[in-house]
Amino acid sequence: MNNKALTTTQTTCPYCGVGCGVDINSDGSQVEPVSGTAAHPANFGRLCVKGSSLHETLSEEGRLLHPTLNGKRASWDKTLSLISDKIQQVLNTHGPEAIAFYGAGQMLTEDYYVANKLMKGFIGSANMDTNSRLCMASAVVSHKRAFGADIVAGCYEDLELADLVVLVGSNAAWAHPIAYQRIVAAKQQRPDMKVVVIDPRRTATCDIADIHLAIRPGSDGFLFATLLAYLEENDKLDQNFIVANTQGFDETLAAARAACISLDHSAELLDISRDALLSFLTLFASTEKTVTVYSQGINQSATGSDKGNAIINVHLATGRIGKPGACPFSITGQPNAMGGREVGGLANQLAAHMDFAPSDRERVRRFWGAPALAERPGMKAVELFQAVRRGDIKFLWIMSTNPLVSMPDADAVKDALKHCELVVLSDCMGNTDTAAAAHVLLPAASWGEKNGTVTNSERRISRQRSFLQAPGEAMPDWWMLTQVAHRLGFAEQFDYQSPADIFDEHCRLSAFENNGKRDFDLSGLTGMSLADYDALAPVQWPVNASYPAGRARFFDDGRFFTANGKAQFVAISPELPEQRQEGDLNMNTGRVRDHWHTMTRTGKAPRLAQHISEPYAEIHPLDAAARGIAEDQLVSVSNSRGAITLRARLSENQRRGDIFVPMHWTSRYASNARMGKLINETRDPYSGQPELKITGVNAEPF
């Protein structure tokens, strides 16, 4: 560090949905080792190893520094004009449905807002989707069906106040480390507190589990249907809450009973012992203060929406919602999946928690002064790239994500881009698989160089603040989008000078003609000065006259956002995943502890490679022996879509018949480990979320 004065900046970690506050000491060009923000309510000073290594990831290596057109450096002006000209030409020739945007839960809320507004209000199509479709779209569906709005009921403090924390399809110890550490600390303080982990794998999260149910992959719906039937049979329902605050219980109970013929039958479906099942049922039934945390093991499923509702159903049936230490709790993977869905960043949303109902469209149209408001939902991620492959999408703008690695059937996505007339990628990195396939590369400002807000899993809005100059000609996404909007003739409607202007508009839209019907707006954050925006302290939405300092818990007043104010039970007929046709093993995918997504940032910090240094396939020793696979041997994991090569790890933490493959390694870090290319395009019928946990594969020595 040189002798220039250091400035401390408080910002938010760019990795997982826990959304920890990070303190940065920087002189504007170099950064000292980071620390956790002591006062940030998500982490109170703690950071996991990814967060505490952030200062090691800030090099310019691999960064996109200048706009490029077909590999040649070009000026911003020329590049932005080419993009707007192409959009106009496609609009004139093929109409708005031939244009698509694909974003990411890495984008800041302000970036998301502008992209969404430009696409849905001014280009005139809702073909704007995001990699959050791969992360939590099913949780959105289940929230909206049950609560009438996409609302996370509780907060992180509930994890500490609960007497029972049930973690379903979540390896929180690795994927949400600080939230997990809060549970660990609470359990140390109150040893009577219980933890149940429901996961086909034995993961690091199980280290604190009193009960681990290694259920059959994809059978979670049966477990929670069985639980509902058991609660009713044993007189453990909150009848007062059901009668006063809910609707649809009788049909839901009937469906649960139909699915749960007997405990023996359920245990057989779940592939666990009756005793293990009963121990969970009795513990849940007898513990009032219960939080059920669920994550990708629930969401990334062909029946993820139903599974989410099966979890919510048991909380509604027991009145365990809206109370300290009692709620269903969907934890998001990405740093701003929540902020994206709040501004309408999914193809089936319009804006500010509004959909495509005529009244919503009219509100948004008037507020934006939108000349071409999209009339209907757009294509969700998988359909969107299928349309690209058919040649139906002529112009595609990808922002801050690497779909050639992360999407199901990733090689088909790679092929799809060849059928598109112009593919634009705005990203901070220039050496990704997707960058190699794009025609236009726009250098994006990265974490630490840009300003805006993110929302974490407990609805807490936090500032990301800049502390470094963006390198080369890198610019924030909102600026690029705004410049294109200006060139399309919408300068007045996109007259933003800073992210603060955009945030203010987002807050005003949330309350526009709301008439108090949906009391979860941000009207209390409108009209902030630049200084106020810069100083904005972390706050849980809503922020309005009723909740000027934010709201920790929803539904504590028994009021939901359905038409009659009652929560909706959703009758679920659980199903097991379809039989694997493509191999005799089931491939499960997920994160490792010290890497993030496609490693563009974590790949730069050598100490983050120490935990797990190369892509691997974890398989039960007996399954390995049956295939002649030895520990540390290279194995080929394959199906009809292709083959990848990984290092074998033998572990009884895997169920027989399952194989686990991490999601992170791209062509840059391993020659052939992109797991996305094996994954089929099966998805949830309501949310469109792909089934990333169930893929038939074969494995053999390489």
Q: Would you count residue 50 as binding ligand SF4 (CB under 6 A)?
A: yes
- CA max distance for the chain: 73
Q: Would you count residue 597 as binding ligand SF4 (CB under 6 A)?
A: no
Residue nearest to ligand SF4 (CB): 51
**Which residue, 148 or 538, is less far from ligand SF4 as judged by CB?**
538
Contact map string, positions 246 to 265, toward ligand SF4, x by CB under 6 A: --------------------
Q: Would you count residue 524 as binding ligand SF4 (CB under 6 A)?
A: no
In the complex, minimum distance from the CB of residue 49 to ligand SF4, in angstroms, rounded to a whole number = 8
CB of 664 within 8 A of CB of 592?
yes
> What distances in angstroms separate CA 259 from CA 270, 273, 279, 328, 417, one per listed residue?
12, 18, 20, 22, 43
Q: Would you count residue 284 as binding ligand SF4 (CB under 6 A)?
A: no
Q: Please, what is the Cα angle at 336 between 505 and 32, to 5 degrees? A: 105
> Is residue 156 within a helix (H) or strand (E), and if so which, with residue range?
helix 156-161
- Local structure of residue 123 (DSSP, 8 states): I
Calpha distance 656→129 (Å, rounded)? 36
Calpha distance 666→676 (Å, rounded)? 10
CB environment 248-263: b (16+ within 10 A), e (fewer)? bbeebbebbeebbeeb
Q: Would you count residue 16 as binding ligand SF4 (CB under 6 A)?
A: yes
Q: Would you count residue 48 as binding ligand SF4 (CB under 6 A)?
A: yes
**Which residue, 177 or 304, is less far from ligand SF4 as judged by CB?**
177
Q: Would you count residue 18 as binding ligand SF4 (CB under 6 A)?
A: yes
Q: Which of 20, 141, 302, 384 binds ligand SF4 (CB under 6 A)?
A: 20
Q: Which of 26, 35, 37, 51 binds ligand SF4 (CB under 6 A)?
A: 51
Q: Total binding residues for ligand SF4 by CB under 6 A?
A: 14
| Cα atoms in the 13 Å half-sphere on the side-chain side of 610 | 7
- At 380, list the tokens: 């969700």
- At 6, list the tokens: 């250091």
Q: Which of 31, 34, 47, 364 binds ligand SF4 (CB under 6 A)?
A: 47
Specify the stretch interacting with ligand SF4 by CB under 6 A; choose among 11-19, 384-392, 581-589, 654-662: 11-19
Specify the stretch interacting with ligand SF4 by CB under 6 A; choose among 41-49, 95-103, 283-291, 468-476: 41-49
In the complex, minimum distance from the CB of residue 593 to ligand SF4, in angstroms, rounded to a whole number = 10
Spatial strand order of the sheet with 21-26 comes to 7-12, 21-26, 35-36
Three-state secondary structure call for residue 149: coil
Provide the H-helix boundaries in 190-237.
220-233
Q: Would you count residue 15 as binding ligand SF4 (CB under 6 A)?
A: yes
Q: Which of 11, 19, 413, 471 binds ligand SF4 (CB under 6 A)?
A: 19
Q: Would you count residue 13 as binding ligand SF4 (CB under 6 A)?
A: yes
For residue 288, the one-letter residue type is E
Q: Would you count residue 494 as binding ligand SF4 (CB under 6 A)?
A: no
In the complex, minimum distance from the CB of residue 511 to ligand SF4, in angstroms, rounded to a whole number = 29
**Which residue, 207 or 700, is less far from ligand SF4 as judged by CB?**
207
In the complex, minimum distance from the CB of residue 10 to ligand SF4, in angstroms, rounded to a whole number = 14
Calpha distance 259→223 (Å, rounded)? 10
CB of 105 within 8 A of CB of 134?
no
Q: Would you count residue 178 as binding ligand SF4 (CB under 6 A)?
A: yes
Residues 576, 578, 584, 588, Cα dihedral to 10°:
-70
Residues that bind ligand SF4 (CB under 6 A): 13, 15-16, 18-20, 43, 47-48, 50-51, 176-178
